[in-house]
Amino acid sequence: MGMNNGRVETLMSDFLRKSGGVAVIDGGFATELERHGADLNDPLWSAKCLLTSTDLVRQVHLDYLEAGADIIITASYQATIQGFGAKGFSKEESEAMLKKSVDIACEARNVYYERCCNSAGNFTSDGKILKNRPILVAASVGSYGAYLADGSEYSGDYGDAMDLEFLKSFHRRRVQVLAESGADLIAFETVPNKIEAQAYAQLLEEGIKIPAWFSFNSKDGVNVVSGDSLTECAKIADSCQKVVAIGINCTPPRFISGLIQSIKNVTTKPILIYPNSGEMYDAELKQWVKNTGVPDEDFVSYVNNWCEIGASLVGGCCRTTPNTIKAICRALPSKSSYMA
C-alpha cells in the first residue's frame, strides 16, 4: 500500500510540474452539449447524454482538449445510482453508466493523442491546439443537492435532520465505481456545506485507490453557500491524505481572489479555481439571465492575478466555453509559449 499511497500523493505535484506550474481545467458542459444539439430539459440530462449521445459527450471533451485543457471532467456530475434507479434503471445499468462517463472521457483523450501524433505542428489551421502533454481525466461527483435538483446544491441547506452516515451511504457506491473505472482522480464539485465535505473525506479513507480534489462554491466570497466557514471546509480537505487539490467552482469571478486567500491560509495543497462566467442563474425560471456575465476577455484578465496569488489549476464552470479555455491558455505565460 505504501507505494501506491506515495503515487496518490504526488500525482498532482508531478502533473503540475509537467504542465509548467499551472494546469488548465475544462469549461462548462451543459452549454456545449446544447450547442451540439443535445436536449437538456431533463433533471438527468447528463445521464441522458451518456445513454443516447455518447458521441456528443466525447466531442465536447475533445473540443476542450483542442482548446488546450489539461484536465477533462466526466459527465457524471448528476449521475447517481439513486437517480438512475428512480428512472427505472437497475443497479448494474446505473453502475455501467457511471463507468461509461469515464470511458468516454478516456476515449476522447486517446483520440486527441492520436491527432497530436498525426499532426505536423502544435496547431491546426483553424486554431485547434494539438500538443502532446499530460492530460488527466477527473471523475465528477456532484453533491446530494445536485441529485435532489431542488436548488439545495446552491443553498447547501439539507435540513437539520441530515447526518453524516446518510450522506456517506448515499455517495459510497458511486464513488467506488468511479474510483475503479480508469479515471485519474475524483472531482468532488460544487461542495455546498461542511457535512458533505466530511462525508467525502471519510469515504476516501475506505480503501479508495485514486486521489481526489474538493471544490466548494460560495455566493458571498467568504463562506461556502450553506454559510459554513470556507476555512473549516478547506481544513477538512487539507487533513485528508487522498485530497490533492482544494478550491472553488461554480462561483462568480469577482469573489475568487479573496477565496484563494482564505484557502491558502489553511493549506499548502494546490489550489484550483473554475468559476462561472459570472452570469446570474434564475432558480425559479431555471435559466441564465442574459448579459449578466463577464465576457471571455474580462474573465481571462483575472486569471493571471489568481495564479499570482496562489491558484495552480484554472478553468471555467457554468456558461464558459472552449473559447474561454483557449483564452485562458493564451493568457498563461507557461502555456502561451506553444500558443504563439
CA-to-CA dists, residue 70 to 36, 215, 237, angstroms: 22, 17, 23
Per-residue model confidence (pLDDT) at position 319: 82
pLDDT tens digits, the chain, 340 residues: what are they?
Answer: 334 556 777 899 999 999 999 999 999 998 898 888 887 777 677 677 888 889 999 999 999 999 999 999 999 998 999 999 998 999 999 999 999 999 999 999 999 999 999 988 887 878 899 999 999 999 999 999 999 888 888 889 998 889 999 999 999 999 999 999 999 999 999 999 999 999 999 999 999 999 999 999 999 999 999 999 999 999 999 999 999 999 999 888 889 999 999 999 999 999 999 988 766 666 666 665 665 566 666 778 889 899 999 999 999 998 889 999 999 998 898 886 665 4
- Reference 79, options 150, 139, 151; nearest CA is 139
Looking at residue 278, its pLDDT comes to: 67
CA 229 to chain CA mean position, Å? 21
Asked whether the beta carbons of 239 and 204 are under 8 A apart, the reply is no
The conformation of residue 246, written as its DSSP 8-state character, comes to E
Q: According to the model, what pLDDT value does residue 2 have?
A: 39
pTM: 0.93
Report pLDDT for 31. 82
Cα–Cα dist 41/214, whole Å:
28
What is the C-alpha to C-alpha distance for residues 225 and 18, in angstroms, rounded to an integer? Answer: 34
